[in-house]
Structure 1
């Protein structure tokens, strides 16, 4: 999938520049971006938004948070997600057990968005 004019992507990353770069790449694909930098913001967006097609989650967030609560909420709703992280080797087994594609940082934002959209398409097929 290269374009998605009515697609909504949830983004979770605590690094403002990475989040902004991902947001621009989402918009360049014709999608809507829902941006969050904390678990609570992501959960709030998830609860307030009727349709989310795929999510891109940074694994390690500020103050020792991980994306696990958001990933579990996405799983409950049947929304596919990818993990975008530079430190996957340091995470506990809970993160490793998440059913998601792993995208190592650094990766270009365009590549991350493309892989997330492709992953979403494969899981819905």
Structure 2
């Protein structure tokens, strides 16, 4: 029997979000999707901490970043990975989050596999491999 994980996906690009959602569904994950900080934080409150792991896009448009979401996840003890194409603009800030990073473009399957590895106890090897 496979474990079902509950994922929070935060991405402002609709096609990337949809691709991640489908890849997570293919792995029998329960998925909560958000494209803004406000929606992601509301999901965290609504789900009463029933999120196992999150995938966060760093830049969410209109000058918004995932940093408030990352802080909320840390306070709840929920692991997360970063999925970003803005390494030139946010490299130093991303390092302060001390989370696994998968640079865009990357396959949705690779990103979801890395997220599941974070929560399934295989973080060190699988996440590093996915990030390469």
Fold match (TM-score > 0.5):
yes
Q: Deviations over 1:41-99 (max 9, x none)?
A: 00000111131000000001111000000000000000000000011231163332102
Q: Which consecutive segments of 4 or more residues in structure 1 shift more than 4 A?
A: none
Residue 126 of structure 2 corresponds to: none
Residue 63 of structure 1 corresponds to: 62
Give the CA deviation at 1:122: 3.0
For structure 2, list consecutive stretches of 5 or more residues without a partner in the other structure. Answer: 124-132
Residue 29 of structure 1 corresponds to: 27
Separation in structure 1 between the aligned mates of residue 94 and residue 67 of structure 2, nearest angstrom: 7
Q: How many residues align?
A: 121
TM-score (normalised: structure 2): 0.86
Give the CA deviation at 1:4: 3.1
Residue 14 of structure 1 corresponds to: 12
Kindly indicate whether structure 1 or structure 2 has the higher relative contact order, using CA contacts under 8 Å at least 6 residues apart: 1
TM-score (normalised: structure 1): 0.90
For structure 1, list consecutive stretches of 5 or more residues without a partner in the other structure. Answer: none
Residue 86 of structure 1 corresponds to: 85
Give the CA deviation at 1:120: 2.0
Give the CA deviation at 1:119: 1.6
